[in-house]
Amino acid sequence: MAKIVILTGAGISAESGIRTFRASDGLWEEHRIEDVATPEGFVQDPDLVHRFYNARRAAATAAQPNPAHIALAELEADPGHEVLIVTQNVDDLHERGGSQNVLHMHGTLFGALCHSCEHRWPAPEVMSPTDSCPSCGAQATRPDIVWFGEMPYRMEEIWHALRAADLFVSIGTSGNVYPAAGFVADAMHAGVPTLELNLEPSAGRSMFDEARHGPASVLVPQWVRERLG
Ligand code: APR
């Protein structure tokens, strides 16, 4: 049984029509990170933040999994493989592509979180600053998304899986944001072989044992076919 940890980023969902962050037409070209992706920005203007994530939630709901998502689900279903997908993405395309073992380290668009009591519940399609928490009643609901300056979710589990893996694969991420960008170094230090599948060389390219560059919808099914023989 081969244990594989797969890190995914916005690039795996790009061909499903979901915008990435740092491309020339990326989200961070139009929005200031400080305004929409920090706790301070949320306190400053919760309405702006909710509008930003409501639009992303609508886009994710309208999108469909692409061949890269579907191929990873096929690999997971193979009895000779134990696959953990650690995704930075907040869409649900891995799950809709058929993957079961998906860890959302940056949260999800489809979850709501109370900024006051930390209660969690499924997010309504449209969230607003006047929504109140079903548990404590506070009007402090936010999308269950990890913002800059906050600790990503389930990091101990991720590091443990990385050290125990037979292979680490990184798909569709630019390698600019830590701690995810540091996983290749963590894998390397644990003696775990590493592979990058990305449209272009990522910031961490030099640390990967192997790299293949091109669209995920081509590279990922190709790689999975090789694995499944
Ligand atoms: N196939 C494969 N890779 C692609 C494709 C594609 N079709 N399209 C784009 N890419 C690659 C780009 O070359 C780039 O390296 O995906 C990467 C996307 O990089 P970013 O936009 O920086 O997104 P990501 O790495 O996921 O960002 C990490 O930063 O903004 C925060 O929290 C946010 O989770 C996000 C984190």
pLDDT tens digit string along 97-111?
999 999 999 999 999
pLDDT of residue 117: 95
- H or E segment and range at residue 82: strand 81-87
| pLDDT score for 27 | 83
Q: Residue 22's pLDDT band (boundaries 50, 70, 90)? A: confident
Q: Which amino acid is at 118?
A: E
Beta strands 81-87 and 120-122 are unpaired
In what side-by-side order are the strands of the sheet with 107-114? 120-122, 107-114, 141-145
Nearest residue (by CA) to ligand 1, atom 23, is 10
Q: 158 alpha carbon to ligand 1 midpoint, in Å?
A: 20
Q: Which long-range contacts (CB under 8 A, 24 or more apart) does 211-218 make?
A: 215/15, 216/11, 216/12, 216/14, 216/15, 216/66, 216/68, 216/171, 216/172, 217/15, 217/66, 217/67, 217/68, 218/67
Is the whole-model pTM more than 0.85?
yes
pLDDT band at 24, cuts 50/70/90?
A: confident
User: What is the whole-number distance in angstroms between the Cα of residue 199 and the centre of ligand 1?
Assistant: 9
| Residue 177, ligand 1, Cβ within 6 A | yes
Q: Are 193 and 208 in contact (CB under 8 A)?
A: no
Q: For the chain, what is the mean pLDDT?
A: 96
Q: Is 107 in the pocket of ligand 1 (CB under 6 A)?
A: no
How far is the centre of ligand 1, averaged over its atoms, from the C-alpha of 22 (Å)? 7
